[in-house]
Amino acid sequence: MRKILKEHKENFIKIFKLARIDLIKTYRGSVMGCLWSIIKPIITIFAYWFTIEIGLRSGKMRSGYPNFLWLIASTVPWFYFSEMIVYGATSIKNYSYLVTKMKFPISIIPTIVNLSKFIVHIVLIVIVVLLFRINGYKLDIYMLQVVFYMLMSFLFLEVWSIFSSMIGAISKDFVNLVRSINILIFWLSGIIWDVNSISINWVKKVLWFNPIAYLINGYRNCFINKVFFFEEPIQLLVFIGTLILLTILAVISHNKLRKEIADVL
């Protein structure tokens, strides 16, 4: 852990510069450039709105909010999670030239990718806030805690990326497994349904061990349920415990594999 933190401290400015380059590189060659990172989710949001409000005519209220806004509050964070679950696992492999052609701190590569996706996430959350405001819902103190859930999301995806990228760099099967279970995570994380609505108590408790489900519900608490994060202490403790466990795994995988990755790549 000390080595990872040291590498991040020594390369703090470099991380931000390379994150910017990563964001630009993703959409290089297109006229719209980085705007595509915002346009693509907006098109998806529009598709949800058209399907629910116009196509299915099911614009009923959920928890006192239109069904469209209820879905947007959880779907927009998922854009960030889904990208980082996959891109986090492939980050070192995608930047293999940095590892094989020069002496480069491996641990900061997942952070570069995570930060570039997080910048897009910030912009999309601002759009969500504007959508609520346009629909007549005032900003309140509950929405301020979205900053807490954004930071927790960044931290969780950071340690996930460090752990998974080390394994993903040496195992193509692991990357294929991550890609395969991404859709499963979507359906088990309460993106389009509420985990709290499950009547079978033990199933609900098991699902709360899913950190993505906790974070998704947290975003929904900010915009819809109006619940502070400290009002659900058990879920918070479970999430922190999961985060600590994943951090330990990330440190172990970094220590065990960092010297071998250059040769494997």
Q: What is the pLDDT of residues 216-257, one digit of tens each?
A: 999 999 999 899 999 989 999 999 999 999 999 999 999 988
Whole-model pTM: value is 0.89
Q: What are phi and psi for residue 145, nearest 5 degrees?
A: -75, 0
The pLDDT-based confidence of 21 (bands split at 50, 70, 90) is: confident
CB 110 within 8 A of CB 167: no
Q: Report the alpha-carbon distance of residue 220 to residue 72 in Å, rounded.
A: 9
Dihedrals φ, ψ of 59, to 5°? -80, 45
130 vs 138: CA distance, rounded Å: 10
Q: Please write the tens of the pLDDT for every residue from 161-215.
A: 999 999 998 888 999 999 999 989 988 888 888 887 787 787 877 888 899 999 9
| Residues whose CB is less than 8 angstroms from the CB of residue 108 and which lie 6 or more positions away in sequence, other chains included | 7, 8, 11, 14, 15
Whether 91 and 176 have beta carbons less than 8 Å apart is answered as: no
Domain boundaries of the chain, sorted by first residue: 2-264
Cβ(261)–Cβ(92) below 8 Å: yes
